[in-house]
Structure 1
Amino acid sequence: MNNSNNERVYKMSFAGVYPHYITKAEKKGRTKEEVHEIIFWLTGYDQKDLERILNDKTSFEAFFNEAPQIHPNVTKITGVICGHRVEDIEDPIIQKVRYLDKPLD
């Protein structure tokens, strides 16, 4: 991914992508609650935080930079997503986006 694509992702609203996470999960027989569980595990946010993030249209960059606690075991999420090995992605925000994508895959 080049820097201009990274910048575009940084500025994207988490609320704009959130419905796609739910749809993706439901197509795979998972629930909205399971998506929330993954988000909360990964970031340390809770339901109240998530509602605020969605209402405020928080950017992905702020979503991850302001996360209460990125889970210490996040680096155990490995594999390929969108043609890139998650563990090899150098950009920290893009890597966290992929850390969130991978369990939903």
Structure 2
Amino acid sequence: MSADEKRRFPRMPIFSAALITHQGQGWLSEVRDLSQGGACLARPHRWSSVQSTECRIYFIFDQETVVAVDARCVREGSEDLGFEFDGGQESEVETLLYESR
């Protein structure tokens, strides 16, 4: 069984800008893929490890379309970061998935 088959939610490849914020710090990044449960973002150059810590991610589609979602970093790779969306944000996640299409 491949890693993709083990995922609870199917991943959708997209390309969008994102701003990751944590305790007054911010990092610009690019979204690599997205699912109902989380997202994979490119690892920013000056990333400070915040694994398993609450972050807010602003997904930036254009000047008028920005969707904010609370998440926690669950995986840190050399090239990318894996985030899991916090529960209780179904409306925000639905908006995010809609805008990414």
What is the TM-score when the length of structure 2 is the normalising length? Answer: 0.28
Question: Is the helix fraction higher in 1 or 2?
Answer: 1
Question: Is the strand fraction higher in 1 or 2?
Answer: 2
Q: Which has the higher contact order (CA 8 A, sep 6+)?
A: 1
